[in-house]
Amino acid sequence: MVPFLSTPHFSLENTLATRLSHHRKIRIRYIKDTQKLRSLNCYTTKMAQSLVSAISTTPIPAEDQPTFLETGYTHPEAGDFEKTSTFGFPDPAKTWNPDARVYYARRLKSPLNSAMITLSEGFPSRIGNTSLIWSGQDLAPEQYVFYFNEAEIAEVESALKHFTGLNQSISAVGRSTFPLATLGPRLMLLANKLYGESRGLGFFILRGLNPDRYTAEENVILYAGISSYLSSHRGKQDEKNNMLLHLIDLTASVAPDDVRQAPYSNVPQPFHTDTADLLSLYCLNPAVSGGRSILASSWKVYNELATLHPAHICTLAKGDWAFDTFGRSGAAYNMRPLLHLLPKSGRVQFSFSRRPLTGSPVSPRTKGIPDLTSKQSDALDTVHFTALAHAVHITQQKGDLQYWNNFALLHAREGFQDEGKNKRHLLRLWLRDETRAEKWGEVPEVIKGPWMEAFGNVGEEVWPVAPQKDREFVVEQRRSSGFA
């Protein structure tokens, strides 16, 4: 048997590195590399020069355009590939997924200048002394992947049998109805790692379950049951009181690609945060290729911005960012910051979803909403690429339970490919631990409304055990980012 909290010993791979080509195709790929890329700034100029040379010569044919899977961050809509002028591309910050070529070309055109720039009032020059600050290339899987042993899986299955015997709705799943006498206390201790205690990184993976052993409803029950030992308060995912979201590419058979929202398609998603204290994913089936979960330390990103791009801290902290409501409320848009300094805890917190700021191919920005300024575009892209430089890329395995602290981490998703009926299928929960409310429960005043929608009086809970394939549901722009 494999003891709990044990991991296999294998080396960290897929460290982020880049390789540039001056041929017709621009290829940037992940390679094994032990070099520590501790600062995005240390290689900006060289990369930018190569990128400028590459895109200033021959236009790239449509069939040769780099994809997100190849580059890690490029999106087909992120720029006009027929233009040869380096700075002639449309601003990629307005096309949801940013374009690396334009970002680094911008860096070359406007060299860093951090002199004589004062951070916004109260914001620290550096956040330190916490294990929540990390760079992905410094991590090994044994630091965040923990295995269930056979006895613990048996205990989960016994709890599942106990709950089904109660003949209650899934909303009744909790510690009392899903008893884990031995595993439960260990999970509660492991939850401390989500908050930086016990050298925690703010995220971890529980591995060892086989979802093929259970029915669709049983998978939802055991997912909710295990998660209840990490956080007992679950949030609703939308205004229909759905407590669970199925992340799966429903394909054009349900709705066309140009209107189907990101949770129901295979497109990449750039770095963002959600409306929850904790996020969780249960992998029922991984993608055939791509689809990795990408996590980055928010405070690592903050520290690098404060050191190399202090002007961006000021831009991000201003309350003049226009968030598209996509018709969710009476106002067409709301104005608020992306970066917050919380008055009680003093915690620095990112809170944004890129789509309401830029629109996306399937959610065009509402007409009449103020465009991002050049400073805002640059700051938004810098957050993305700084996070990417320090991210950890997690290849999900069938049965993985993934948890992370939304207050401490930014997250993104790699684009992916399915094969026939072999489809990537994940379940998502939003969680909030009321026992940590004093230290971690503080939410920026300007987003308390959406938080209360998710975690307030939910009413009658809805637990869809199968993906919802209603066309109106999967194309709804207001719903695709939850309450962000």
Per-residue pLDDT, 11: 30
> Is the whole-model pTM more than 0.85?
no
Per-residue pLDDT, 41: 39
Q: Digits of tens for pLDDT over the chain (484 positions)?
A: 434 443 333 332 333 333 333 333 333 333 233 333 333 334 444 444 444 333 333 333 333 333 333 333 333 333 332 332 333 444 444 557 788 877 887 777 776 655 567 888 899 999 998 999 999 999 999 999 999 999 999 999 999 999 999 999 999 999 999 999 999 999 999 999 999 999 999 999 999 999 999 999 999 999 999 999 999 899 999 888 999 999 999 988 888 777 888 888 998 889 999 999 999 999 999 999 999 999 999 999 999 999 999 999 999 999 999 999 887 767 889 999 999 999 999 999 999 999 899 888 888 888 999 989 989 999 999 999 999 999 999 999 999 999 999 999 999 999 999 999 999 999 999 999 999 988 899 999 999 988 998 999 888 999 999 998 988 888 887 654 444 4
Q: 229 to each of 25, 100, 186, 225, how far by Cα in Å?
A: 49, 41, 9, 7
Measured CA angle at 438 (ends 436, 439), to 5 deg = 75
Strands 293-297 and 409-413: antiparallel
Measured CA angle at 143 (ends 140, 145), to 5 deg = 100
| 389 neighbors 16 (Cβ within 8 angstroms) | yes
Per-residue pLDDT, 120: 81
Provide the b/e sequence for 11-37 (b: ≥16 CB within 10 Å).
Answer: ebebbbbbeeeeeeebebebeeeeeeb
| Cα distance between residue 138 and residue 142, in whole Å | 12
Domain residue ranges of the chain, discontinuous segments joined by +: 40-109, 136-297+385-475
| 431 neighbors 231 (Cβ within 8 angstroms) | yes
pLDDT digits (tens, 9 = 90+) for 258-302: 788 888 899 888 999 999 999 999 999 999 999 999 999 999 999
- Please name the amino acid found at residue 142: E
Count of alpha carbons within 13 angstroms of residue 466, beta-carbon side: 3
- HEC string of the chain equals CCCCCCCCCCCCCCCCCCCCCCCCCCCCCCCCCCCCCCCHHHHHHHHHHHHHHHHCCCCCCHHHCCCHHHHCCCCCCCCCCCCCCHHHCCCHHHCCCCCHHHHHHHHHHCCCCCCCCCCCCCCCCCCCCCCCCCCHHHCCHHHCEEECCHHHHHHHHHHHHHHHHHCCCHHHCCCCCCCCCCHHHHHHHHHHHHHCHHHCCCEEEEECCCHHHCCHHHHHHHHHHHHCCCCCEEECCCCCCECCEEEECCCCCCCCCCCCCHHHCCCCEEEECCCCCEEEEEEEECCCEECCEEEEEHHHHHHHHHHHCHHHHHHHHCCCEEEECCCCCCCCEEEECCEEECCCCCCEEECCCHHHHHCECCECCCCCCCCCCHHHHHHHHHHHHHHHHCCEEECCCCCCEEEEECCCEEEEECCEECECCECCEEEEEEEECHHHHHHHCCCCHHHHHHHHHHHCCCCCCECCCCCCCCHHHHHCCCCCCCCC
4 φ/ψ angles, rounded to the nearest 5 degrees? -60, 150
Q: Which CATH number fits domain 136-297+385-475: 3.40.50.300, 1.10.8.350, 3.40.50.2300, 3.60.130.10?
A: 3.60.130.10
